[in-house]
Each structure stands twice: as C-alpha cells, then as structure tokens.
Chains A and B, each alone.
Chain A
C-alpha cells in the first residue's frame, strides 16, 4: 500500500537517520495512525515488510505504547489527565463531567463517531492544571464551562 505523499516523504527521510530500519517504527506508526485513524492490518503488514520484520513483531511494538491503537475511535479525542497535579485541582470532577456530557465512559466513543473520551496519565501540563489534550492540542486551566464550549464548538463545526 501507499501512504500520502507527505507521509511517504517523511518515511523516506526518516530511514536515513538510523543504522537500522526498524528504528523508524515508533514515530512512523503514530503518523500512520494519524493518517488512517488507526494502525490497520494492512498498514502493519506494509510497515513490517518495509522494515524487514514479521507482522507479529510490529504488533508487539504497537501493544506497548499507550497512544497507539489498531481500531478507530471518535474523531475528537478528549484525553483528560487525572494524575496527581490535575487531581488536586479537581480533575476527577472534570472527568465525571465529560462522562455525563458525552454519555460515554473511559476509552469509549460516541455512537455518531464524533467524540472519544479517555482518562490519561500525566501529559506535562502540571503547572496549568487541570488539563487535557484534544487530539494533539493542549487545553489547560480547564473548567466545566471550557469543556462545554469545546464540545459545543465541535458540534457546531461538524454540523456545517
């Protein structure tokens, strides 16, 4: 299979950075996931061939990293940090708020495929807690209102 031109270019550049081909795996798997929504069987097979590993060895790498997934999730991934710095600033209430508002639990997506909710470990936004990531974007100094605005904003955007 072929990826987008941009991703193909990235792959071609990256393999020149290391003495072994498989070294590209961790970052490139994430870029593949961004492009396809998940690391599909086909993508695993393709990458395995390119870096000269078995499919199983690639799956073995995937299963270690918490950001990697082999099945698609909702388009907007709400990743709420509930680790200690966020916890002491009320993160568990915020997570609870998200569950109610979106009607889904930890690692679940809404039936319309729009939202995904996840409780995550420390994202490195401790001084600006409580915080979350919306896909790759940091949202800091969170309040229930801020979360509501994010959700409404997305719904509005998607309706257009």
Chain B
C-alpha cells in the first residue's frame, strides 16, 4: 500500500482522516463522519449550493470548473431522474491522490455524493472507479454496505423521509473514460466514446437525465465545506481558488508523495521545500504542474502561486495538481515521445484530428528520437499540435496538443540537438519502437 508523507506547511482537510482507520464506519463517526450529511438534510437545496459557491471550490479533476455553479445548472424540474456521478477514473499520468481518499476515507466520498444529490434533488449516486483499482472497489463496496446497514444510505435516510441510493461501479482500463460524457457511456455499458456537447451533462447526462459529475476529491471536500462553512474553506486558499488540494508529487524529487496544501502555495517552495528538492541535488530541468496533459514549465517559470489562476498566468494549468519533476538527465524528446505514445494509445479513434494527430506525433517522435529527424519535423509537429487544439470532440486531443506545443516552444534547442542522425544522449529508443 502506498505510504503517506507529511510536511508542516500542509493544511489537512480532505486528508485529515488519512491513516486514522476511517474505513471503519464507527471510527468515521468518531471523526465527525456523516455529520455534514445530517446538517445538509436540514438545509434547502439552494442553501447547499450557495454554501458550495461561497467556498470557491473548483473541480479537482483537471478542468477547475466552479463546483457550485456546475450544480446550479441542473434544472429544478425534470421528467427524467437526476443523477450524481463520482468520477474515480483517476488516470491522468502523474495523478495518484483519489486513490488515497478511497483507501483511507471511503465514507467521505459517499457523504459527498449524497450531499450533492440533496443539492440537486437526485435519488441515486454512482461512484465509478477505474478497473485497476480493484482493492479500492472492495473498500468502497464494504463502506457502502456498512452505510446501508446503519440506514445512512437507502430508504428514509436518518429518518428524514429522503430516499437515496449509492452504488459502486468499476471500469476496465481506459484513460478516455475520465472524460465526463465518456464515463457516462461506459457506465451505460458501452464503449467509452465521448458525446458531443452541448447538451452538457447537467441537462442531458446519464440515461438522458440531468447529471452532476464531479471528481472524487471535489466531492470529498463537500462534507468539510458543509460542516466548516463555505467562507472558512474559501479563506484557506486565494481569491477564486478556494480551499486546499491534494498535490501528487512524482519524478526526480527527494520526497515524492501526496501533500495537501492550500491553493496559492508557492510552486517553487513546493518543489524545493515540501518535496525536498531535486533528487541527488541535481539541477531542475522542467516541471509538469498538472498531469501529463498540461504545458511544461521551465525552471525560471515556477516562482508562482500554485492555483488555477497562478498556473494559467505562468503559461500552464493546475490540472489535477499532479506535479512531475524532471531533472537535467531527462531528455525532453524522449519524454515527449512517451507522452505522445500514451495519448496515441488512449485515443478512442472516434474523431479524426485526435486519432491521426496523436499517431503522427508518435511516429514522428520515434523517428526523430532515434536520430532520423529533419528540421522540418519540428515545425510539422508544432503544426500538427496547433491544428488538433480545439478541434476534437473531447479534451483528449487538447491534452496531447497542449504539452506538445510547449515542448517545442520551450525546448526547441534540445529538439535541434537530435538532428542529423546524432544519437540522443539518453538513447534507449528501441523499446519504445518495439512496443509501440
């Protein structure tokens, strides 16, 4: 099991029950469990949404959309049933935080789903976990069964007259299913091919009903907001960037791990102090701040607040707060090749700019990295990425295009150094070719 880390600068909200045995329902109740749900049962739906709006909570899955606003888009009256969907298809390379929530605090996810359901007046919630997380499916299934046994979930919860069911559902290996409409297709028992938008899920979602879909961490934050108050949560972060977030730090740092920090924490300090600096005292080459699909940052760009707005200003995105640190031994071309190989593998093939674009980028990079590149390839890769951006059904095409543009813009000399058949200083391209 994944070990936990800590740092004095952490503010523990979502992770406050980590390592405290909260998978047991009794222990969870001792640690203020299900109090937020009981409080929410006494609130009007609009009041719940208002509290979440006040908290400035934004989606922790990657897009950073304000959660309260998302909930408010759900129509009050609907002929079809409404649904709440928890997106636990955590697959963005670099991201390993939702896993810890499921492992250490499963009831907080159930509670978050139920409060969201009360806010939009829905009677059913689904918690979707990626198929690889089988041990977590078991933890969640037990947590849900325990909550049913006590009458916290199901008919007439806490004697309130509300009926609310929560089910656990699992996937079977697909990055793309992390996209909200693809996840709905998958839950409906189909291929995870994204749907065209509009209509957005808030209006037409699961089985055509209005649906709120949120990331695990987003929903696990909700009970704390209801108990502590939206203003308290908002004040933990920076304006428009409320609260704390779980930061998955990986790559060439001394102390990789998942840390919970207030939004707006200095990004450079996060790498050099919280994560213990660069492995072996080497030099920093680059940082990916929000999972493999966001633009890469150079060392001189990292002295910025780590929140949605701070990262946007620095030229990247906070994404899923997955920080991947690269030291000076890492070849950017090789890194780019691995990232494009991933998107090519995960592209569902439904729309052409993504299917063809990722394939050509991968093929070009394989040739390029093995020493067969020409100058024109560099501009061609940039051209391909430019033309994919914003022209695909779902954000997977953007997720490949944005980092690709940034590798070339920010590390062009390194691409040029690979030209004229010169072997890459860090070679090892043959296995990428062999398994591609």
Give A contacts to B, CB under 8 Å: 17-27, 29-30, 51, 60-61, 63-68, 82-85, 87-89, 92, 95-96, 105-106, 119, 121-129, 133, 136-138, 140
Contact partner, B3, options A18, A21, A89, A128, Cβ 8 Å: A128
B248 interface contact, C-beta 8 A: yes
B170 interface contact, C-beta 8 A: yes
A-B CB contact pairs (8 Å), 5 listed: A65-B173, A65-B174, A68-B173, A106-B434, A127-B96
Determine if B91 and A64 form an interchain contact, defined as CB atoms under 8 angstroms apart. Answer: no
7 closest Cβ pairs, A-B complex? A67-B173, A22-B189, A66-B173, A25-B189, A65-B172, A126-B250, A85-B250
Determine if B189 and A20 form an interchain contact, defined as CB atoms under 8 angstroms apart. Answer: yes
On chain A, the residues within 8 Å of B175 by CB distance are 121-122
Q: Classify chain B's interface size.
A: 35 or more
On chain A, the residues within 8 Å of B191 by CB distance are 60-61, 63-64
Interface readout for B161-173 with A: 1 if CB under 8 Å, 0 if not? 0000101011111
Which residue of B has the minimal Cβ distance to A88? B251
Determine if A128 and B256 form an interchain contact, defined as CB atoms under 8 angstroms apart. Answer: yes
Q: How far is the CA of A27 from the CA of B131 in the complex (A)?
A: 8
On chain A, the residues within 8 Å of B428 by CB distance are 92
Which residue of B has the minimal Cβ distance to A64? B191
Q: How far is the CA of A95 from the CA of B336 in the complex (A)?
A: 19
B188 interface contact, C-beta 8 A: yes
Contact partner, A22, options B188, B326, B335, Cβ 8 Å: B188
Total number of A-B contacts with CB less than 8 angstroms?
166
Determine if A84 and B292 form an interchain contact, defined as CB atoms under 8 angstroms apart. Answer: yes
Considering the complex, which residues of chain B in the window 332-359 have a beta carbon less than 8 Å from any beta carbon of chain A?
Answer: 334-335, 338-339, 342, 345-346, 348
On chain B, the residues within 8 Å of A26 by CB distance are 131, 169-172, 186-187, 189
Knowing A20-B188, A22-B189, A64-B174, say if A129 contacts B256 (CB, 8 Å).
yes
Q: How far is the CA of A88 from the CA of B171 in the complex (A)?
A: 28
B300 interface contact, C-beta 8 A: no
Nearest CB in chain A: distance from B225 CB, A: 25
On chain B, the residues within 8 Å of A136 by CB distance are 132, 134-135
On chain B, the residues within 8 Å of A122 by CB distance are 91-95, 175, 292, 342
Contact partner, A19, options B96, B169, B207, B325, Cβ 8 Å: B207
Nearest CB in chain B: distance from A31 CB, A: 9
Determine if B348 and A129 form an interchain contact, defined as CB atoms under 8 angstroms apart. Answer: no
B149 interface contact, C-beta 8 A: no
Which residue of B has the minimal Cβ distance to A99? B431
Nearest CB in chain B: distance from A54 CB, A: 13
Determine if B258 and A67 form an interchain contact, defined as CB atoms under 8 angstroms apart. Answer: no
Knowing A19-B207, A61-B189, A136-B134, say if A84 contacts B288 (CB, 8 Å).
yes
Contact partner, B99, options A61, A68, A124, A137, Cβ 8 Å: A124
Nearest CB in chain A: distance from B433 CB, A: 11
B227 interface contact, C-beta 8 A: no
